[in-house]
């Protein structure tokens, strides 16, 4: 069946129709305890770690699964064929930007990093970036959709929740937005139907400012797919949003450039070979990632690690014959005096890739990687 053409910008009539007669429902992120680094970690290093710690290592293949009939989870989580197709389309929309991440739909929830439910009573939400790895139980969701996805608002919701999984936060919480809320109006609006949020959810999703290190860019992007629509009376300043805020719909130019800069596409000449016992300089700048190939010549336990005074996350992927990649181990040494290291039994004849993201280095040129 041919895909229906997608409307990427809203006409006023479509906006009115999508808005319906009452307040709309919004994405409600699960309230999290922010990561605490040891107080001895200097501020510059800490903000570099915070900026990168939710981002995936380039080369990661995000596997995803939509719960369906037969799974041992509440039946309310099962998605309709229509909504599942919209989720697939939204993943393809992000992938089409030519980024260094790929997405693969898998047949079992236990094989998926991103597990998606469609419970209408639970709203729409997703864990942010690598936080999804903390949800390990195959019967637990990392994302939920609480309303139909085959509308302009629904398609933007699908892009928005996947944006969270890629590491994006809400754009109205960007401290550079300079938004002053009418706090009482915000509390009244979101605690009422149909959202019925607790104050902690309102604080977490609307009023809280996100640390500068974690936001998408230095400038506020009111057209971001990570921005909410806001009705009149909720924003006091900037004054031109007192009458409400309506993002254009779809991915904004800044959404696209953020994901392309965070996850640059991988060109084969950039992938170096790792050889046992030979260290290679990482040659990474802060926030950059690099991918290496490793083909074991014997089946045995191998160590793969970084050396140098730096904070890195190191991820080991196994690459299947069809090119699909599975993350088999990871190590994150950020904020500690240790180096990232994984130890795993690897099989001769199989193909592995090692991805490294450098959060921070005292002397970046001296950080290296080695297999032994
Ligand atoms: Zn959200």
- Cα of 333 from ligand 1 centre, angstroms: 28
| Mean per-residue pLDDT of the chain | 87
- Cα of 119 from ligand 1 centre, angstroms: 16
154-172 per-position pLDDT tens digit: 999 999 999 999 999 899 9
- Cα of 163 from ligand 1 centre, angstroms: 8
Per-residue pLDDT, 12:
37
- Cα of 18 from ligand 1 centre, angstroms: 18
- Cα of 250 from ligand 1 centre, angstroms: 14
Q: Which residue has the higher pLDDT, 96 or 48?
A: 96
pLDDT band at residue 81, thresholds of 50, 70 and 90? very high
Cα separation of 76 and 122, whole Å? 10
Highest-confidence range of 52-56, 82-86, 206-210, by mean pLDDT?
82-86
| Least confident among 72-76, 170-174, 300-304, 330-334 | 330-334
Per-residue pLDDT, 268:
64
- Cα of 154 from ligand 1 centre, angstroms: 13
What mean pLDDT comes out for the span 258-269? 82
Per-residue pLDDT, 19:
45
- Cα of 150 from ligand 1 centre, angstroms: 18
Per-residue pLDDT, 247:
94
- Cα of 271 from ligand 1 centre, angstroms: 34
HSE of 183, CA atoms in CB hemisphere, 13 A: 4
- Cα of 261 from ligand 1 centre, angstroms: 21
Per-residue pLDDT, 204:
93
With 50 as the cut, is the pLDDT of residue 13 above it?
A: no
- Cα of 249 from ligand 1 centre, angstroms: 14
- Cα of 105 from ligand 1 centre, angstroms: 22
SS (H, E, C) the chain: CCCCCCCCCCCHHHHHHHHCCCCCCCECCCCCCCCCCCCCCCHHHHHHHHHHCCCCCCCCEEEEEECCCCCCCCHHHCCCHHHHHHHHHHHHHHHCCCCCCEEEECCCHHHCCEEEECCHHHCEEECCHHHHHHCCCCCCCCEECCCCCCCHHHHHHHHHHHHHHCCCCCHHHCHHHCCEECHHHHHHHHHCCCCCCCHHHHHHHHHCCCCHHHCCCCCCCCCCCCCCCECCCCEEECHHHCCCECCCCCCCHHHHHHHHHHCCCCCHHHCEECCECCCEECCCCCCCEEEEEECCCCCEEEEEEEECCEEEEEEEEEECCCCCEEEEEEEECCCCCCCCEEEEEECCCCEEEEEEEEEEECCHHHCEEEEC
What mean pLDDT comes out for the span 300-326? 89
Residue pair 162/94 in contact (Cβ under 8 Å)? The answer is yes
| Least confident among 60-64, 281-285, 332-336 | 332-336
Per-residue pLDDT, 199:
95
With 70 as the cut, is the pLDDT of residue 367 above it?
A: yes
- Cα of 279 from ligand 1 centre, angstroms: 42
With 90 as the cut, is the pLDDT of residue 179 above it?
A: yes
- Cα of 29 from ligand 1 centre, angstroms: 6
- Cα of 26 from ligand 1 centre, angstroms: 8
- Cα of 28 from ligand 1 centre, angstroms: 6
Domains and CATH numbers, the chain: 12-262 (3.40.390.10), 268-371 (2.60.120.1090)
- Cα of 368 from ligand 1 centre, angstroms: 37
| Least confident among 120-129, 266-275, 307-316 | 266-275
Give ∠ CA 182-214-249 in degrees, rounded to 5. Answer: 60
- Cα of 91 from ligand 1 centre, angstroms: 16
With 50 as the cut, is the pLDDT of residue 174 above it?
A: yes
Cα separation of 169 and 154, whole Å? 18
Length of the chain: 372
Greatest CA separation for the chain: 67
What mean pLDDT comes out for the span 2-15? 39
- Cα of 285 from ligand 1 centre, angstroms: 30
pLDDT band at residue 137, thresholds of 50, 70 and 90? very high
With 60 as the cut, is the pLDDT of residue 7 above it?
A: no
- Cα of 287 from ligand 1 centre, angstroms: 24
| Least confident among 30-39, 157-166, 279-288, 330-339 | 30-39
| Least confident among 21-25, 194-198, 209-213, 365-369 | 21-25
Per-residue pLDDT, 22:
59
What mean pLDDT comes out for the span 209-232? 87
- Cα of 146 from ligand 1 centre, angstroms: 12
With 60 as the cut, is the pLDDT of residue 5 above it?
A: no
- Cα of 172 from ligand 1 centre, angstroms: 10
- Cα of 288 from ligand 1 centre, angstroms: 26
- Cα of 156 from ligand 1 centre, angstroms: 11
With 60 as the cut, is the pLDDT of residue 277 above it?
A: yes
- Cα of 152 from ligand 1 centre, angstroms: 16
Per-residue pLDDT, 138:
96
- Cα of 170 from ligand 1 centre, angstroms: 6
Find the distance separating the first CA and the last CA of the chain, reported in whole Å: 51
* Alpha carbon of residue 22 to chain centroid: 30
What mean pLDDT comes out for the span 84-96? 97
Pairing, β 341-346 against β 351-361: unpaired
């Amino acid at each position: 069946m041919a895909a229906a053409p997608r409307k990427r910008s809203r006409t006023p009539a479509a906006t009115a129709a999508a808005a319906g007669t009452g307040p709309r429902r919004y994405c409600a992120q699960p309230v999290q305890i922010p990561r605490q680094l040891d107080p001895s970690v200097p501020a510059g290093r800490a903000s570099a770690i915070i900026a990168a710690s939710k981002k995936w290592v380039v080369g990661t293949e995000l596997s995803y699964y939509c719960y369906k009939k037969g799974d041992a989870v509440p039946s309310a989580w099962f998605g309709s064929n229509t909504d599942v197709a919209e989720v697939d389309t939204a993943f393809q929309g992000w992938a089409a930007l030519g980024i260094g991440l790929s997405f693969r739909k898998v047949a079992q929830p236990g094989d998926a990093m991103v597990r998606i439910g469609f419970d209408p009573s639970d709203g729409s939400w997703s864990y942010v970036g690598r936080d999804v790895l903390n949800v390990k139980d195959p019967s637990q969701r990392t994302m939920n959709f609480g309303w139909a996805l085959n509308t302009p608002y629904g398609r933007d919701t699908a892009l928005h929740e996947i944006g969270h999984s890629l590491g994006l936060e809400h754009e109205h919480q960007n401290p550079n937005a300079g938004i002053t809320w009418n706090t009482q109006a915000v509390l009244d609006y979101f605690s009422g139907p149909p959202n019925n949020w607790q104050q902690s959810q309102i604080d977490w999703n609307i009023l809280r400012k996100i640390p500068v290190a974690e936001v998408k860019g230095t400038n506020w992007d009111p057209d971001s797919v990570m921005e909410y629509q806001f009705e009149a009376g909720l924003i006091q300043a900037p004054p031109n949003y007192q009458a409400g805020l309506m993002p254009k719909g779809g991915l904004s130019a800044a959404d696209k450039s953020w994901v392309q800069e965070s996850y640059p596409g991988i060109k084969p000449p950039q992938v170096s070979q790792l050889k046992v016992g030979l260290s290679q300089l990482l040659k990474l700048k802060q926030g950059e990632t690099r991918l290496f190939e490793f083909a074991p010549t014997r089946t045995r336990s191998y160590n793969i690690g970084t050396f140098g005074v730096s904070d890195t996350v190191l991820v080991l992927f196994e690459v299947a014959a069809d090119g699909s990649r599975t993350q088999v181990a990871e190590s994150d040494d950020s904020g500690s005096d240790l180096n990232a290291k994984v130890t795993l039994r690897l099989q001769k004849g199989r193909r592995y890739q090692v991805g490294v993201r450098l959060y921070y280095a005292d002397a970046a040129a001296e950080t290296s990687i080695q297999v032994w």
